[in-house]
């Protein structure tokens, strides 16, 4: 079963996260990394959530990761899958799993980013099994 018929609202873009969605419009997955402690984080923040430094910088993620956890929303119309995906860069992000057989999903399964259009806004990152 697929979620391609599901409609997604445009994300609310503010100045702190605008570079994320500018990169998204080019099909790139941007992450924030802290120059002080070296850790990456998501969602993007100006202040590092680990050490409170303001020396955060944008980096580009590979777009590859693995399923950390997921739940199939079978009673929704149409059904969809909400998930946490852990990226190769070590960051976990809440997302949807799309274009896949929901019954074949497994924790730890490799996935890759798949940009999903929104209603009048930039695309949002979702993931599909590789
Ligand atoms: Zn830091």
Residue 6 confidence (pLDDT): 84
Distance from C-alpha of 118 to C-alpha of 129, rounded to nearest angstrom: 21
pLDDT of residue 5: 74
Q: How does pLDDT run along the chain (130 residues), one tens digit per residue? A: 444 578 899 999 999 999 999 999 999 999 999 999 999 999 999 999 999 999 999 999 999 999 999 999 999 999 999 999 999 999 999 999 999 999 999 999 999 999 999 999 999 999 999 9
Structure tokens at 122: 């930039």
Q: How far apart are CA 58 and CA 34, in angstroms?
A: 9
Name residues whose C-beta falls within 8 Å of residue 54's C-beta, 6 or more positions apart in sequence.
46, 47, 48
CA of 56 relative to ligand 1 center, distance in Å: 7
118: left (phi over 0), alpha (psi -120 to 50) or beta: beta
Q: What is the pLDDT of residue 80?
A: 95
Ligand 1 centroid – CA 3 distance (Å): 37
pLDDT of residue 3: 45
Q: How far is the CA of 42 from the centre of ligand 1 (A)?
A: 12
Interval between CA 59 and ligand 1 midpoint (Å): 14
Tokens 């990394």, located at residue: 33
pLDDT the model gives residue 127 = 98
């Amino acid at each position: 079963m697929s979620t391609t018929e599901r409609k997604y609202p445009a994300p609310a873009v503010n100045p702190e996260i605008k570079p994320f969605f500018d990169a998204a419009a080019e099909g790139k997955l941007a992450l924030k990394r802290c120059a002080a402690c070296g850790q990456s984080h998501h969602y993007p923040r100006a202040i590092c959530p680990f050490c409170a430094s303001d020396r955060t910088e944008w980096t580009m993620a590979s777009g590859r990761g693995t399923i950390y956890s997921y739940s199939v929303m079978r009673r929704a119309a149409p059904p969809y899958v909400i998930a946490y995906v852990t990226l190769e860069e070590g960051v976990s992000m809440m997302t949807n799993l799309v274009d896949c057989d929901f019954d074949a999903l497994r924790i730890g399964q490799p996935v890759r980013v798949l940009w999903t259009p929104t209603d009048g806004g930039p695309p949002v990152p979702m993931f599909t099994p590789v």
